[in-house]
Structure formats: structure tokens, C-alpha cells
Amino acid sequence: MRIAIISDVHANQEALEKVLRDIEQQGAEAIHFLGDAVGYGCNPDECVSLIAKHCDIKLLGNHDYVALGLESTESFNQAAQDSLNWTQARIKQRTVETMSDFEITASYLDYYLVHATPEEPDRWQYLFDAGQAQEQFEHFSQSVCFVGHSHFPAIFVLGNDGIVSMHFKNKLVWRQEKRYIINVGSVGQPRDKDNRACYVIADSDSREVRFRRVQYDIDKTQKKMRKARLPEFLIERLAAGV
Ligand code: ZN
């Protein structure tokens, strides 16, 4: 079964629409969303509505937690705080109600799905290296765990020797004797110096995971964000992909 896994849309409607079109062309049978529908961008209502309509499993991220009033903006940097205040002031009640049905973790086939980490999913820890990923394998039982949160596409592999290694490649065929944590990257705000939207197609029959990169109209998104008076830092980073 071929599924698409998307994460960190961050209210970027242009990127999400292009990714949904690409997923359709890839022939995925289901779409799962790993959280952070809102924050940073200027179309939270439109993005939550698209996610609710197209995605089967829908998870919450740390930005969504703030939008739902479950957490304060204390731990966020200034630009993120400003965009979350902007979001909270404008988001529709109906959008908040839709998001309140989203989950914290989920499992599907032999996959575990979570926004940040399997250990304490609502503490929003980051996985940037193999050392940080190492202990996470004890906190889920499935073969493959898909995460988002850092906006960096990456593959962590737990080998037979118990050692975790980190890889960056566009395609992986996973082996039954190994286990994996895969960061699917970000649809709405990629940070790996590639400004195209990023997501993953996973095929449980061929055990193949492919990263897809999709170009979208960044210029249009930036113009809308400027008009909305969102922080310039957040506008410029979309083009730089950092
Ligand atoms: Zn995010």
C-alpha cells in the first residue's frame, strides 16, 4: 500500500495545494499529516480545512498546541511568537474545533506517527543527530517511525549492532531486520537549503520510502505574508529554504 506522509504545513496554502496535486499524481491511497498545520504562514484556516478534507490521520504539532490554547508561546523565538499571536487573533472558531480532533500520536500498518519524538510526544524535542535518535527507538514498537518538527528531511537507522546512523538520501528501501526513524521534512517551510516543499511517499509492499520535492509559487506566498504584516524574517526564509 502506497501512502503519502506530510508535515509542517505552517499555513502555507500555495505549498500545500501543490503537494496535494503531486500526491494525487503519485497515486497514494492515503495521506497522513504529522502536525503543525498553522503558525508562520498567513492561511491557517485554508490549510486546516485542506488537511481535514484530504488527510486520513491528522496529528498536532507544537504550533497547533498554541493555536488551541493548550500551551503558551513562551518557548518560541520572537518571530514564531509574533506569527502565533497573529494566528490566534484571526483563526476561525471552526478551524480550532476541527483541529481539536487531531491526535498526538498514531500507528498505521507497521508505522508509528508523531510530530516530534516518540518519547514524550508533547515535549517537542528535536532530533538533529544520531545520538538524539538512539534512545527514541525504545519508545515505539513498529519498524518505521515517521516524524516532522525539525523541518530537516533525514533518515535514522538502527542497525543489528544497536548503533544508530543518520543518512540524507532521496530514496530508501527499508530492511526487515532494521528499524527506522524518518523525518519527512516540511511542506510549508523547508530548512535544508532547498526551498521546494518536501514530503514522503512510503510503499509497504516494496518497502520503499521516497522523498518528493515540489516547487510552488514562493513569490505569491511572500506577497500575501507581507500584506498580512507577518515578520520579514519568516517571509525571506521561504526563498532561502533555511
Ligand atoms: Zn514546524
Tell me the pLDDT tens digit for each residue of 160-204: 999 999 999 999 999 989 999 999 999 999 999 999 999 999 999
Tell me the pLDDT tens digit for each residue of 39-49: 999 999 999 99
Distance 151 CA to ligand 1 centre (A): 6
Distance 38 CA to ligand 1 centre (A): 9
Distance 36 CA to ligand 1 centre (A): 5
Distance between CA 19 and CA 135 in Å, rounded? Answer: 32
Quickly state the pLDDT bin for 241 (edges 50, 70, 90).
very high
Query: Dihedral, CA atoms, 183, 197, 87, 115, nearest 10 degrees?
Result: -10
Distance 69 CA to ligand 1 centre (A): 17
Tell me the pLDDT tens digit for each residue of 107-159: 999 999 999 999 999 999 999 999 999 999 999 999 999 999 999 999 999 99
Distance 7 CA to ligand 1 centre (A): 8
Distance 94 CA to ligand 1 centre (A): 22
Tell me the pLDDT tens digit for each residue of 24-43: 999 999 999 999 999 999 99
Distance 62 CA to ligand 1 centre (A): 7
What is the model's pLDDT at position 211? 98
What is the model's pLDDT at position 237? 97
Distance between CA 234 and CA 239 in Å, rounded? Answer: 10
Identify the structural domains of the chain with CATH numbers, from first to last.
2-240 (3.60.21.10)
What is the model's pLDDT at position 97? 97
Residue 8, exposed/middle/buried by CB under 10 A (0-12, 13-18, 19+)?
Answer: buried
Cell for 173?
528501501
> 3-state class of 132 per DSSP?
helix
Distance 61 CA to ligand 1 centre (A): 7
Distance 39 CA to ligand 1 centre (A): 8
Q: Give residue 44's identity as a one-letter amino acid code.
A: P
Distance 189 CA to ligand 1 centre (A): 8
Distance between CA 29 and CA 56 in Å, rounded? Answer: 10
